[in-house]
């Protein structure tokens, strides 16, 4: 029974600064508030799937520092299986997020231990690929490791969801091996070689990419919603209108929600509508993992 999700990816210690505006060159700007949270695209997506009740296992690396201890303890607290996360010498990955009052974010990350992921780390979790229905990947670990993981998953008949974020060059043959490709408008522009900044352009490019790659393509467009193209059908999925506080982790919440939904038999269009509800909750709270909804919260119908 393929009832598990595997995530191979990044874990970051996030420092979130609530600021009224971006500082100018040479300016020292007082922040309105600060929060510390566990993050990293990989860990965020894994935590969202785990909070929704899917048995979720993660492989990756954290440093042998206090941040690494915090990241592991936090992940376990959300029900994520962490036995395949390895501790390395040096510092953990870290993110500094500047969160504006309108919910927009500007972030920088330090790769740290995330770029210590090796083939052996992937080999260690490989036996679980026989029991997993989905492998989720991002681009905050070495690209070579992503390609290696894709080949391993396909050899075991495990579906692959690639969140190509942040956008990095990758051989198209590996994008074709992914069952689901998720990008935002910036990443879609990178892979399309042209600007994708409107829903109309996203509809066009999602259809083209899905046809060229022979898979499912999802382009997320922030507060405008998302576009899904699969098997010749392209559809716009509108966002939910909420009062966003801060958007860190919203895209990761969406992907964790898609993972849960496809594992529970929803088609990809239903899955994206469900995932939109997840991210709508996440943007109404501060931080990433702590703000992500549980299945019980969604079932209560508040969103």
Asked if residues 206 and 217 have their Cβ atoms less than 8 Å apart, the reply is yes
**Catalytic option among 14, 102, 252, 267:** 252
Q: Would the CA dihedral through 247, 114, 90, 66 be positive or negative?
A: positive
Query: Which of 143, 115, 108 minimizes the C-alpha distance to 13?
Result: 108
d(C-alpha 174, C-alpha 73), whole Å: 33
Of the candidates 294, 293, 4, which has an alpha carbon nearest to the alpha carbon of residue 134? 4
- For 16: left if phi > 0, alpha if psi spans -120 to 50, otherwise beta; the answer is beta
179 is catalytic: no
- Contact between 90 and 64 under an 8 Å Cβ cutoff? The reply is yes
Q: Distance between CA 118 and CA 15 in Å, rounded?
A: 27
The DSSP 8-state label assigned to residue 297 in this structure reads H
> Which residues, 6 or more positions from 107, have their beta carbon under 8 angstroms from its beta carbon?
95, 96, 97, 98, 248
User: Among all residues, which ones are annotated catalytic?
Assistant: 252
């Amino acid at each position: 029974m393929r009832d598990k999700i595997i995530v191979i990816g990044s874990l970051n210690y996030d420092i979130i600064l609530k600021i009224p505006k971006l500082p100018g060159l040479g300016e020292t700007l007082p922040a309105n508030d600060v929060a510390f949270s566990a993050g990293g695209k990989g860990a965020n997506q894994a935590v969202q799937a785990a909070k929704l009740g899917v048995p979720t296992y993660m492989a990756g690396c954290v440093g042998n520092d206090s941040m690494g201890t915090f990241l592991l303890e936090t992940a376990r607290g959300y029900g994520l299986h962490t036995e395949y996360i390895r501790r390395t010498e040096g510092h953990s990955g870290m993110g500094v997020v500047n969160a504006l009052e309108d919910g927009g974010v500007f972030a920088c990350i330090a790769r740290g231990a995330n770029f210590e992921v090796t083939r052996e780390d992937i080999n260690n979790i490989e036996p679980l690929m026989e029991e997993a229905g989905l492998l989720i990947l991002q681009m905050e670990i070495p690209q070579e490791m992503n390609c290696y993981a894709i080949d391993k998953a396909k050899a075991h008949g495990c579906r692959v969801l690639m969140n190509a974020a942040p956008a990095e060059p990758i051989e198209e043959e590996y994008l074709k091996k992914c069952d689901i490709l998720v990008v935002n408008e910036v990443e879609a522009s990178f892979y399309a070689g042209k600007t994708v900044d409107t829903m109309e352009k996203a509809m066009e490019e999602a259809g083209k990419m899905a046809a060229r790659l022979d898979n499912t393509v999802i382009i997320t467009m922030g507060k405008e919603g998302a576009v899904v193209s699969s098997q010749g059908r392209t559809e716009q999925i509108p966002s939910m209108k909420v009062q966003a506080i801060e958007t860190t982790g919203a895209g990761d919440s969406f992907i964790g929600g898609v993972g849960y939904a496809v594992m529970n038999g929803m088609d990809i269009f239903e899955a994206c509508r469900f995932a939109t509800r997840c991210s709508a909750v996440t943007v109404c709270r501060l931080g990433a993992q702590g703000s992500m909804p549980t299945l019980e919260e969604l079932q209560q119908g508040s969103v």
